[in-house]
Chains A and B, each alone.
Chain A
Amino acid sequence: MSLILDIGFAPFASGVHNWVYGMFGNTTIAMIVEMVIAGLSLLVFLVPLCFFLGYMERKVAAFMQMRLGPNRVGPHGSLQIVADTVKLLLKEGLTPDGSDKFLFNLAPIIVVITSMLVLAPIAFAKNFQIWDMSIGVLYVSSISSISVIGILMAGWSSYNKYSLLGAMRSGAQIVSYELSIGLSLISIVILTGSLRMSDIVMSQQNGWWLFKGHIPVIISFVIFIVASTAEINRAPFDLAEAEQELTAGFHTEYSGMKFAMFLLAEYINLFVVSAIAATLFLGGWMPFHIGSWEAFNHIMDFVPSSLWFMGKTFLIIFIIMWFRWTFPRLRVDQLLNLEWKYLLPISMVNILLVTVMAIMGWHF
């Protein structure tokens, strides 16, 4: 089992690559076919993942509130999400009168596409990555900021004041919190000296950055988690949908599969953010290594790299869910205060600390 998982992914990927290029020669068609295969396999991976995340969220929420959660459909309610999906599939996808029909139908697609694009540079396992580009971190931070366009589009085209208010809030929120995310990503880039995801993972061979970089990296990890929770519009930063004030914010008018696409995008974003945090701070697929303890490191290497990656990602997903079901929602002024008066100054000072630490070689 361990062997299949560990050596399975990389040779499989290169096998598919060789097969496609053998079929079509070194042509554009071969590249397109390979891209389609990669995209389809991503979809096949993401849809069950989102089902699982939806189920996990509801169970975590229930347990934290001393409830049972879904427990009627399937064993322990595990088929509840399937039932919900069937319901959404059968529901009418209503487009309100007076809305901008083209933008209204385009918005959910843009939101889903941007959240899926960010998955390209993420290393799911050893040597298993869709596109190991040299500007991985920059790509992630630039692509993830496009999703706000989809949200603004949805809010604007809905012809509904709740939607518009939600979209505007979301705009203000994402524009501010991107700064902290960028700065906390930069702190790792300073230590690694590379924007490439595989280099960042390889640099953590003798210990994860969270442990190697002491306090400054822990601070930037916390800032990253907080700011990325805000970036993906999850509670306690879910001002863009704020059920109690704005019914559902930017997706008030959406129903059926268009609504499901927003939901899908939310869970993909949750996964992406956690995967990036896991890659940068917790070593991605790299097993837990302690400096020069050869025997210990060797034992850790027996656990497949894909399991390490998923384990770390789900740990961070759990922490973000924990935030959601513990903290009350911030007001708009509190939200902007938190970013501009606390997170941004702290992360700027922190960058300075990390730089000094990197120059003086104070990390392990």
Chain B
Amino acid sequence: MFLKDYIGTVYKSSKSLLKGMKLTGYYFSHPKKILTEEYPDNRATLKMADRFRGEVVMPHDENNEHRCTGCQACEIACPNGTIKIITKQELQPDGKKKKAIDTFVYHLELCTMCNLCVVACPSDAIAMAQTFEHSVYDKKQLKKTLNKPGSKIMEGVE
């Protein structure tokens, strides 16, 4: 009985070791399966994963219009004070005043790419971009204004 267990152990362990060697041998003999991205060389053809989040951007259409109403939901949702929205009162054609954004300040150096601001936004004004080459020599350059100069809110976005 003991001998049977003993030989069984030897057989099972050799089998599992050979199984492992078979897998690594398969990888070794199939160099096309290599996963390494040669990053700076393949910058032109680089494909990022869909879920990758690089920075917060505010999409503008061709008329330089964005969808941000200045509701500050993203500013409240942000866990570490990355977003600061400065609002202003804008005069409507009918004489009424309406709240609009003056500057959408985004501190990239504080952002953890948690995506909570994008989730919180009621009007899909902001989105996550896949750019990731953010390094700069001066920290001040990481403080970004997301709304383009002279842009205004899109018609019909409340």
Partners in one complex: yes
Interface of A with B (CB < 8 Å)?
60, 63-68, 71, 322-323, 325-327, 342, 346
B25 and A322 contacting across the interface, CB-CB below 8 Å: yes
Majority-rule SS of B interface residues: helix
A66 and B17 contacting across the interface, CB-CB below 8 Å: no
User: Which 4 A-B pairs give the minimum distances between C-beta atoms?
Assistant: A64-B24, A68-B36, A326-B24, A326-B20
Q: What residue in chain A is nearest B19 (Cβ atoms)?
A: A326
Most interface-central of B24, B31, B33, B38 (chain A CB within 10 A): B24
Interface of B with A (CB < 8 Å)?
10, 17, 20-21, 23-25, 27-28, 31, 33-36, 38
Given A64-B24, A326-B24, A342:B10 Cβ within 8 A: yes
Nearest CB on B from A14, distance (A): 42
Given A326-B20, A342-B10, A67:B28 Cβ within 8 A: no
Task: For the complex, give the distance between the alpha carbons of A66 and B27 in Å.
Answer: 6
B36 and A64 contacting across the interface, CB-CB below 8 Å: no
Most interface-central of A60, A66, A342 (chain B CB within 10 A): A66
A-B CB contact pairs (8 Å), 16 listed = A63-B27, A63-B28, A63-B34, A64-B24, A64-B25, A64-B27, A64-B28, A65-B27, A66-B27, A67-B34, A67-B35, A68-B36, A322-B21, A326-B21, A326-B23, A346-B10
Task: For the complex, give the distance between the alpha carbons of A322 and B18 in Å.
Answer: 11
Inter-chain CB contacts under 8 Å: number: 37
Task: For the complex, give the distance between the alpha carbons of A66 and B10 in Å.
Answer: 30
Nearest CB on B from A336, distance (A): 16
Task: For the complex, give the distance between the alpha carbons of A325 and B33 in Å.
Answer: 17
Report A-chain residues with C-beta under 8 Å of the C-beta of B10.
342, 346
Nearest CB on B from A13, distance (A): 37
Q: What residue in chain B is nearest A346 (Cβ atoms)?
A: B10
Nearest CB on B from A55, distance (A): 16
Nearest CB on A from B37, distance (A): 10
A66-B33, A66-B34, A67-B36 known; 15 new pairs, CB 8 Å cut-off, are: A60-B28, A63-B31, A64-B24, A64-B25, A64-B28, A66-B35, A68-B38, A71-B38, A322-B24, A322-B28, A323-B21, A325-B24, A326-B21, A326-B24, A327-B20
Report B-chain residues with C-beta under 8 Å of the C-beta of A325.
24
Report B-chain residues with C-beta under 8 Å of the C-beta of A346.
10
Task: For the complex, give the distance between the alpha carbons of A71 and B17 in Å.
Answer: 30
Report B-chain residues with C-beta under 8 Å of the C-beta of A322.
21, 24-25, 28
Nearest CB on A from B93, distance (A): 62
Q: What residue in chain A is nearest B10 (Cβ atoms)?
A: A342
Report A-chain residues with C-beta under 8 Å of the C-beta of B24.
64, 322, 325-326
Given A66-B34, A67-B36, A68-B38, A327:B28 Cβ within 8 A: no
Report A-chain residues with C-beta under 8 Å of the C-beta of B27.
63-66
Nearest CB on B from A240, distance (A): 22
Report A-chain residues with C-beta under 8 Å of the C-beta of B25.
64, 322
Report A-chain residues with C-beta under 8 Å of the C-beta of B28.
60, 63-64, 322
